[in-house]
Structure 1
Amino acid sequence: MSNYYKNYSRRRFLTHTSLGVAATLLPNWSGAMQGMAMLPQMPKRTASPTFKPDVEFELRCERGAVPILTGQQTRVFQYRAKLLKGPDNTLVTLPDSYLGPLIQLQRGQKVRIHLQNALPEASVTHWHGLHVPAEMDGHPVYAINPGESLVYEFEVLNRAGLHIYHPHPHEATATQVYYGLAGAIRVSDAEETALELPSGAYELPIVIQDRAFDADNQLAYGHGMHASMMGNYGDRILVNGRADYQLDVDSRAYRLRIMNGSNARIYKLGWDDGTPITVLGVDGGLLAAPEVKPYLMLAPGERLDVWADFSGRNPGTLLTLRSLAFSGALPSMGMMMNHSSLPLGSDFPIMTFKIARKIDDSPKLPKQLASLTPLTLNQCSNPNQPRPIAISEGHMAMLLNGHAYEYNNPLPTERIPVNTIQLMEIFHEHGGHGGMGMGRRHGSGGGRHGRMGMMMSMAHPIHLHGQQFQIISRSIEDADDAGYASVRDGFIESGLKDTVLVMPGETVRIIKPFQDFKGLFMYHCHNLEHEDMGMMREFLIE
């Protein structure tokens, strides 16, 4: 093992040791750490002789070094893949990038993946957005040690959409993603193909991440209590694993498949010339019809499908995609402690498009996109009693439904009958007791949130594994809140989602199906530092 990776492992040990010291000194932190002990380890799944794959490939987690900044190469973790069976375009390598290959699948295909771990630590891979059986979902209990392998087998049940694959090991997701383990999955189907949307060279994956580097061009991860509580923020923006990203484009329409691959950073996407943004789809695929927004909010784990029309622009013209200014996502105390040169909510460029060639031929934006049948309250098993997902932030604690992560110990509201559709309500709850409200709505000292709760409240991207859900309503306690006003016009509430950004004081109601598969399915904050410190729970589908 190189000195770098020895130091990396030593830093993780010291970080966890410091958390252990905090647990002995701080009662709320001790409560938050309950259930965070070592998980059981499931037997390593091997290939089933009765499963006949249409697509089969090896996916290897390994160490590497890539050029990101000028000068010395940067040491990273990365996915490498080798196609064993299937269409030649199944695996598409992103040029000059540490990111894993773009995995291209079709609805209805049967897929077998041989995951191999060549890292210095345990890992497992989650297929973020895919509807797969519980044992194929990348639960931390299926993590494999260095030198081991694991076989995934599943049918692609999802409609067309862009999804993510990334590690999901217990208490180590944030660092493994930060050091490079991530990639995109593109699922296509007949309905999408028939629309003849921009494709090939005119369909561009855009993976946005923020990273910090030391003087030797090595990734610098922000260990410490502040990073755990607020999330880890870098001061360099990378697109597809590259800095200062610029693309040459023709003067025609493109399809941008945008993914937020950051650990914690939320983006407010907008064009530098004020052009409105046309949205084709979100996490779960195409919308019923295009929607136009002045800007778009994009939280970690979310995806956007954007129609970008450069028609009529002259060669040499530059158009920059920026993250525009916003506020209200972090508590005031967290903002004061944030000494980054690129604070959350600041205005900065993400990437630049340069018109390189003028052409006259360009596709037209379809007026209708996908056939979507909206989910309704009448379909829900609990139309008058939504299942709660209560967000609570207290002193050294980030919890869901009043509890930190506990393996296979669901609350009564987390036990769900299979093949049902459920109404769920995600909200911020602070009872003045460090966030131990057990999912009940109550207030203390200053309304439902309480004084400490209001001081600590921050935005959380909540991700639910399994099938995508539908947002049916958003409401905010303070409709005149300036922070919420700076983001509210950037939410897409139609279509299917698997991750939703919940701002401070906000309540989001969703309808989510729990069909086909029994077992344990996780839900958690996709601020990965929060996930690793225990802001994760499980649904038991039975």
Structure 2
Amino acid sequence: MRRRSFLALAGMTAITGATGLALGGCGGAQGNEGTLSLTTPLRIPPVLDPAPGKDGVKRFDLRLRQGRTELLPGKTARTWGINGTHLGPTLRARRGDRVAMTVTNTLDEASTLHWHGMRLPAAMDGGPHQMVEPGATWAPEWTVDQPAATTWYHPHPHGQIGLHVYRGLAGLFLLDDTHDPGLPHTYGVDDIPLIVQDRKFRSDGELDEHFGGTFGPLADDVLINGTYGPYFRVTTTMVRFRVLNGANAHVFTLGFADEREFHVVASDAGLLDRPVAVRRLRISPGERFEIVVAFDPGEEVLLKSFDGDAEIEDGAYDLLRLAAAPRLTPSPGLPARLTSLVPPPPGKRTRTFRLYGTHINKHHMDMTRIDEVVPAGAREVWEVDNITFSHNFHIHEVVFRVLDIDGERPPEHLRGPKDTVYVPGKTKVRLAVEFGRHTDPRTPYMYHCHILKHEDKGMMGQFVIVPPGTENSTPRTLTGAGHTHH
């Protein structure tokens, strides 16, 4: 571990002791640079994009399953998945679609599926209040009403999120709309999903489920779409990669071994104004970025994660070998403009959220407590003040824009629509938050750190969206919290 990270963690001994977290989150991860052959074809998750029924509704049948999967070569591990034994299909829908999910739980314990990045009624959100018991089926339904974006889905059972995601419950949910900026779009050919996750393994190939340290599991074995040591054969001159950090805690700083420039074209909730050229891209758990990379015929290059300056991104990693065919199909040029983002309007109210250990505003999560009441359609500024070690911050249902980081304007690739933001230790981030219009004073949405051990420890709060003018009369206590589906 580098000296800066060591000193940062050494100064946190009293803090972590007070929160019940043991020091040492980064000690198990040192990097895998130069140790992999990268010869396994990258697995591309199958697409689930059902045709609408006679009633115009697209119906998705999803089953939470357990089984065994070969993650390390020649060894199998006990895993969970959706419609398979590990991870889930890539769901696909368009703006305006009416979608209906049938989520059947065949596991031996309760879980949920949360639609991370989706704007929808709170009762359909799949948070800890929508638990699905073993043998039960949950059937949320909503109309997709947001721009094209790379969203995802994962479990959200309070106190067990980290374990359920770690075992394999996760998948992408791609949204399309009528606006076509001219980006690569053929799924599996020049539009490639990359679900990046680190995992610890025992010598027999089983997952090591010991979640010690400040941050939980931080490991040197990295899977992409569940593939160990992957490569992808490039057949076009430009490729769009939809990158999801699906790890429990690991922050990755992406780039290429030859230091080539690439372009960020979208963040969590949709397109940027224009392509932004970068050579490094930091992505924390739960965040998504879409990038476009140019290739020459016959070349090979490594997608890597570089050693960073946070205590949860130590070490360099070889992630994916990209091997270009001798002849490549020409791609259209990268458009100069992608969309027209309107500057966020000034917030009418500012709320402050102080991150301390695994508390937010000195509170741990309470399923019966409503922490914030927000009028429908509100525009607010949320100030996230991290006074301890690394965290990030995710808000359900909303779209936000990063206004500033420690008073400075964010880099251009962080100025687009987002729902999750990395907040390094001793850093203050201000967000311009846009709330939706689905009202429900009895069913909350969540805001929380998306480092899953922190979330499971209680670093989460609840808010409800209510009709304007009813904020003061909305109860702050829920009765019968923790609804389950049988």
TM range (shorter): 0.7 to 0.9
Q: How does 1:99-498 map to 2 (within 5 A)?
A: 99-192=87-180, 195-200=182-187, 201-224=189-212, 226=213, 229-310=214-295, 313-315=296-298, 317-329=299-311, 344-359=313-328, 361-377=330-346, 380-382=347-349, 386-393=350-357, 398-411=358-371, 414-429=372-387, 457-475=388-406, 492-498=413-419
Amino acid at match of 1:354: A
- Structure 2: distance between partners of 1:75 and 1:373: 47
Q: Report deviation, 1:188.
A: 0.5
Structure 1 portions without partners, runs of 5+:
1-25, 31-50, 82-96, 331-343, 430-456, 480-487
Shift of 1:472: 1.0
Change (3 A) 1:27 1:495: closer
Distance 1:177 1:98 in 2: 10
- Compute the displacement of 1:28 (Å): 5.5
Check whether the contact 2:184–2:238 (CA below 8 A) recurs between aligned residues: no
Number of the residue aligned with 2:48: none
Alpha-carbon distance change, 423 to 490 in structure 1, aligned in 2, over 3 angstroms? closer
Distance of 1:79 and 1:416 partners within structure 2: 34
Cα offset, 1:69, TM superposition: 1.5
CA RMSD of aligned residues (A): 2.1
Deviation per residue, 1:91-121 (Å, 9 max, x gap): xxxxxx8220000111110000011000111
Could you say if the C-alpha distance between residues 73 and 466 of structure 1 is closer, same or farther in structure 2, counting changes exceeding 3 Å? same
CA deviation after TM superposition for structure 1 residue 222, in Å: 2.0
Shift in CA distance, 140/360, structure 1 to aligned 2, threshold 3 Å = closer
SS of the equivalent of 1:492 reads helix
Task: State the match for 2:426 in structure 1.
Answer: 505
1:20-68, Cα deviation, whole Å (9 max, x unpaired): xxxxxx87659xxxxxxxxxxxxxxxxxxxx955200211001021222
| CA displacement, residues 166-203 of structure 1 (integer Å, 9 cap, x when unaligned) | 000121110000000000000001113x5353423211
Q: 1:204, CA displacement in angstroms?
A: 0.4
The CA deviation string for residues 297-321 of structure 1, in whole angstroms up to 9 with x for no partner, is 00000001101110xx242x21101
Q: Distance in 2 between matches of 1:346 and 1:117?
A: 38
- Identify if the C-alpha distance between structure 1 residues 358 and 400 changes in structure 2 by more than 3 Å, giving closer, same or farther: same
Cα deviation per residue 1:242-268 (whole Å; 9 max; x = unaligned)?
100100112501111111010000000
Amino acid at match of 1:68: L
Higher strand share: 2
Residue equivalent to 1:64: 67
The alpha-carbon distance between structure 1 residues 357 and 220, as it changes in their structure 2 partners (threshold 3 A), is same
Q: Distance in 1 between matches of 2:60 and 2:426?
A: 45
Alpha-carbon distance in structure 2 between the residues aligned to 1:223 and 1:359: 44
Matches of 2:411 and 2:62, distance apart in 1: 36
Cα–Cα, structure 1 residues 196 and 503, in superposed 2: closer, same or farther, change >3 Å? closer
Amino acid at match of 2:438: F
Secondary structure of 1:319's partner? strand
Query: CA deviation digits over 1:376-415, x for unaligned, max 9?
Result: 21xx222xxx20111012xxxx11111000124134xx22
2:103, 2:138 within 8 Å by CA — same for their partners in 1? yes
Where 2:455 maps in the other structure, the secondary structure is helix
For residues 401 and 539 of structure 1, the distance between their equivalents in structure 2, rounded to whole angstroms, comes to 14
Q: Is the 8 A contact 1:294 1:490 kept in 2?
A: no
TM-aligned CA deviation for residue 360 of structure 1:
5.7
Give the structure 1 partner of residue 455 of structure 2: 531
- Give 1:130 deviation, angstroms: 0.3
Q: Which residue of 2 aligns with 1:17?
A: none
Question: Could you tell me how far apart the structure 1 residues matched to 2:329 and 2:410 are?
Answer: 33
Per-residue CA distance 1:346-388 (angstroms, 9 max, x = gap): 11111110112323622100000012212121xx222xxx201
User: Contact 1:297/1:490 (CA < 8 Å) preserved in 2?
Assistant: no
Distance of aligned partners of 1:350 and 1:212 in 2 relative to their CA distance in 1, 3 Å threshold: same
Cα distance in 2 for residues equivalent to 1:471 and 1:505:
17
Partner of 1:450: none
> What is the distance in 1 between the residues matched to 2:167 and 2:238?
34
Unaligned runs of 5+ in 2: 1-16, 22-53, 467-486
What is the aligned length?
414
Q: Please give the alpha-carbon distance, in whole angstroms, between the structure 2 residues aligned to 1:27 and 1:299.
A: 25
Greater RCO between the two (CA within 8 Å, min separation 6)? Answer: 2
Question: C-alpha distance in 1, partners of 2:277/2:183?
Answer: 20
Give the Cα separation in 1 of the matches to 2:18 and 2:343: 45
Residues 494 and 244 (structure 1), Cα distance of their counterparts in 2 relative to 1, 3 Å cut? same
**1:462-505: per-residue Cα shift (whole Å, max 9, x none)?**
110012111111117xx9xxxxxxxx997732110000000112
Q: Distance in 2 between matches of 1:233 and 1:105?
A: 33
**Partner amino acid for 1:199?**
T
Single out whichever of 350-359 and 236-245 deviates more from structure 2: 350-359
CA contact (8 A) 1:294 1:489 kept: no
Q: What SS class does the counterpart of residue 335 from structure 2 fall into?
A: coil
Identify which range, 299-308 or 354-363, moves more after superposition.
354-363
Given the superposition, is the C-alpha separation of residues 234 and 28 from structure 1 closer, same or farther in structure 2, using an over 3 Å criterion?
A: closer
Structure 1 stretches of at least 4 aligned residues deviating more than 3 Å after TM superposition: 26-30, 488-491
CA distance in 1, matches of 2:250, 2:193: 19
Q: Which amino acid aligns with 2:148?
A: A
2:78 is matched with: 75
Paired AA for residue 308 in structure 2: F
What secondary structure is seen at the aligned counterpart in 1 of 2:414?
coil
The CA distance in 2 between the partners of 1:217 and 1:29, in whole Å, is 30
Classify 1:145/1:126 alpha carbon distance in 2 versus 1 (closer, same or farther; 3 Å): same
Distance 1:328 1:62 in 2: 35
